Amino acid sequence: MPKPKTTLISAGRFPGAVATVNPPIQRASTVLFNSLDEMEAVQTKFSRGERAATYGIANMPLTNACEDALLAIEGGHRAMFFPSGLAAVSAALLASVKSGDHVLMVDSCYAPTRALCNTTLARFGVDTQFYEPTIGENIAALMRPNTRVVYLESPGSLTFDVQDVPSIARVAHRHGARVILDNAWATGLYFDAFAHGVDMVVQPATKYHAGHSDLLVGAVIANDAAWADLRETAMSLGQTTSPDDLYLLLRSLRTLPTRLSAHATAAMKVATHLQARPEVARVLYPALPSDPGYALWKRDFTGASGLFGVELKPAPHAALAAMIDGYDHFGLGYSWGGYESLVMLWSHRRHDPAARAARPWTGGPLLRYHIGLEDVDDLIDDLDAGFARLAQAAAR
Ligand SMILES: *Cc1c(COP(=O)(O)O)cnc(C)c1O
C-alpha cells in the first residue's frame, strides 16, 4: 500500500480527450445522456448515493477527483464540498441535529461557529452549551438525554488549547452523540481524526488545503455511519463548488504535505525565538514542550502547522500598532494557511472574538501569527525589528 502522500499525487487523476497530468475543467449545469435507458440507470445510481452525475451540482469529475485526494489526506468514508469553510461547519451541524436537540460546543471554537449556534441553530430550537476545551472525560457531566452532537476544534481558535479527542469521543458515543471536529490547524496529515473517534471532520479547505489565499472552499468528511445524513443535508441545501475552484483546490492538495512540513519547520523556529523574547509572556503553540497542551499533542498528533498565538506583556495600543504596522513580511489580515506570513491582533478593547462563554480571555495582548514560506531568518529579523519599534513607541 502506498503511503497517503504518494496516493495523494495521483488520486483522482482522470484523462481528458488528451492525456494530461492534470484534469480538464468541465463546466456544467446540464449533463447529457445517450438514451432514456442510460438516463434512468444513472438516476438510479445517483439515488443510491453512488457517484453518478445527473446534473452539474454533484458528482462531477472534478468533485470526484478532489474527493479522492481529500480522502487520501483526511481518511474517512466520503466527503462533500462547500463554498466556504463556514458553510461546511453549518452543514455538518445541520446534518446532525433537529429541533429540541442539545449541542455541546467547545468554547474555543471559531467565532462564526459560535454565532451560528447562538443565532440560526437557536432559532430552530437547538440548544447549545459551551464547554471548556480541556474538559476531557469530565464532559460526561454535561451530557443530556437529548445531546446529539459534541463538537470539537483542536487546537482551538486563538488560544490553541489541545483537546483530549479520544476521551471526549468515547463519552459522546457512550451517550449516543455524534462527534464533529474542525480539524483546520492540523489537517488529516497531522491529526488522524477518524482513528481518534471522530464521526465527521470539518475542513475549512480555504486555509492549508487551498494554501494560496485565493480560494474559499470547505469540506465535510464523514465516516460510514454519518455519510447518509451529510449527503442528504448537503444536497437539500443546494451546496456546490465551482469546477474552477475545485481545479485550484486539487492542484493545491498535491503539495499540501510539502507545504505543511515547511510551515511547521519555520513555525517551530520562530515560536522558539519568540518564547525567549522579554516582551513575550507566552507562546501558544502545542509543539513547544512548555505549552499546556504539549503532552496531548505529542500523544495524538504527528506534526504541528504554522499557526500559533503569542501573548505579549501589557503594552499600549499605539506601541502595538507601531510594531505591527511596520512589519515588512507579516501582512495584517484575516484567514491563514496561505504561503505568506500574516499577523492579527485580538484586542480585548474592541469587539473580541476571543470572548468565551465559560472563561473570558484575561491575559495580555493576544496576537496570532501565521508563518509562511518566506526565508525564516528574514521573518525573525522582521519580528525583532517590530519589538524595537514597540519599545521605542512605549517609551514615548
Ligand atoms: C477559517 C476557519 C473556518 C471558516 O473557513 P472559511 O472558508 O473562511 O469560511 C472555520 N473554522 C476554522 C477553525 C477556521 O480557521
3-state DSSP call for residue 347?
Answer: coil
| CA angle in degrees (0–180, nearest 5) for 216-222-228 | 110
| Angstrom distances, CA of residue 110 to CA of 188, 255, 367 | 18, 26, 15
Report the alpha-carbon distance of residue 180 to residue 360 in Å, rounded: 24
Q: What are phi and psi of 169, to 5 degrees?
A: -65, -40
Q: Which atom of ligand 1 is nearest to the CA of 216?
A: 7
In this structure, are residues 113 and 90 in contact, taking their beta carbons and an 8 Å threshold?
no
Report CA(204)–ligand 1 centroid distance (Å): 5
| CA angle in degrees (0–180, nearest 5) for 49-53-55 | 115
In this structure, are residues 139 and 184 in contact, taking their beta carbons and an 8 Å threshold?
no
Average pLDDT over residues 105-134: 96
pLDDT band at 181 (very low <50, low <70, confident <90, very high): very high
In sequence order, which ranges of 242-282 are alpha helices (DSSP H)? Answer: 243-253, 256-275
Tell me the per-residue pLDDT of 86-111, one tens digit each, with 9 for 90 and over. Answer: 999 999 999 999 999 999 999 999 99
Q: What is the pLDDT of residue 351?
A: 46
Report CA(229)–ligand 1 centroid distance (Å): 22
- Ligand 1 lined by 216 (C-beta under 6 Å): yes
Report the alpha-carbon distance of residue 182 to residue 288 in Å, rounded: 22
Of all residues in the chain, what percent carry a pLDDT higher than 90? 88
For a mutational test of ligand 1's pocket, the pick from 86, 163, 201, i.e. the residue with the most ligand atoms closer than 8 A to its C-beta, is: 86
- Ligand 1 lined by 206 (C-beta under 6 Å): yes
Q: Which residues pair with 127 in a beta bridge?
A: 102
Q: What is the pLDDT of residue 350?
A: 46
Tell me the per-residue pLDDT of 69-80, one tens digit each, with 9 for 90 and over. Answer: 999 999 999 999
Report the alpha-carbon distance of residue 314 to residue 363 in Å, rounded: 9
In this structure, are residues 200 and 180 in contact, taking their beta carbons and an 8 Å threshold?
yes
Report the alpha-carbon distance of residue 138 to residue 56 in Å, rounded: 46
* Residue partners of 324: CB distance under 8 A and separation at least 6: 330, 332, 343, 345, 386
Q: What is the pLDDT of residue 309?
A: 96
For a mutational test of ligand 1's pocket, the pick from 110, 114, 239, i.e. the residue with the most ligand atoms closer than 8 A to its C-beta, is: 110
- pTM > 0.85: yes or no: yes
Report the alpha-carbon distance of residue 148 to residue 305 in Å, rounded: 31
pLDDT band at 5 (very low <50, low <70, confident <90, very high): confident
Average pLDDT over residues 282-287: 97
CA atoms within a 13 Å half-sphere pointing along the CA-CB vector of 313 = 12
Q: Going edge to edge, which strands form the sheet with 127-131?
A: 78-82, 218-222, 200-203, 178-182, 147-153, 102-106, 127-131
- CA distance from start to end of the chain: 63
The strand pair at 78-82 and 218-222 is best described as antiparallel
Q: What is the pLDDT of residue 19?
A: 80
Tell me the per-residue pLDDT of 231-274, one tens digit each, with 9 for 90 and over. Answer: 999 999 999 999 999 999 999 999 999 999 999 999 999 999 99
- Ligand 1 lined by 85 (C-beta under 6 Å): yes
Indicate the average pLDDT of the chain: 94
Q: What is the pLDDT of residue 337?
A: 98
The sign one gets for the Cα dihedral 77, 81, 86, 91 is negative
Note the residue count of the chain: 396
Tell me the per-residue pLDDT of 310-331, one tens digit each, with 9 for 90 and over. Answer: 999 999 999 999 999 999 999 9
Residue 12 has pLDDT above 90, yes or no: no
Report the alpha-carbon distance of residue 196 to residue 300 in Å, rounded: 8
Q: What is the pLDDT of residue 264?
A: 98
Residue 176 has pLDDT above 90, yes or no: yes
Q: Which residues pair with 343 in a beta bridge?
A: 332, 369
Is the preceding omega at residue 155 within 30 degrees of 0, hence cis?
yes
Q: Going edge to edge, which strands form the sheet with 342-346?
A: 280-284, 307-312, 366-370, 342-346, 331-332
Average pLDDT over residues 34-38: 97
Of all residues in the chain, what percent carry a pLDDT higher than 70? 96
| Angstrom distances, CA of residue 227 to CA of 83, 177, 194, 250 | 19, 15, 13, 22
pLDDT band at 358 (very low <50, low <70, confident <90, very high): low
Q: What is the pLDDT of residue 361?
A: 77
pLDDT band at 158 (very low <50, low <70, confident <90, very high): confident
Report CA(19)–ligand 1 centroid distance (Å): 36
Q: Which three cell numbers stand for residue 295?
A: 503532552
Residue 20 has pLDDT above 90, yes or no: no
Q: Which atom of ligand 1 is nearest to the CA of 84?
A: 7
pLDDT band at 15 (very low <50, low <70, confident <90, very high): low
Residue 349 has pLDDT above 70, yes or no: no
Name, of 5-14, 19-28, 283-292, the range with top average pLDDT.
283-292
Average pLDDT over residues 210-235: 97
Report the alpha-carbon distance of residue 376 to residue 125 in Å, rounded: 49
The strand pair at 200-203 and 178-182 is best described as parallel
Report the alpha-carbon distance of residue 343 to residue 353 in Å, rounded: 15
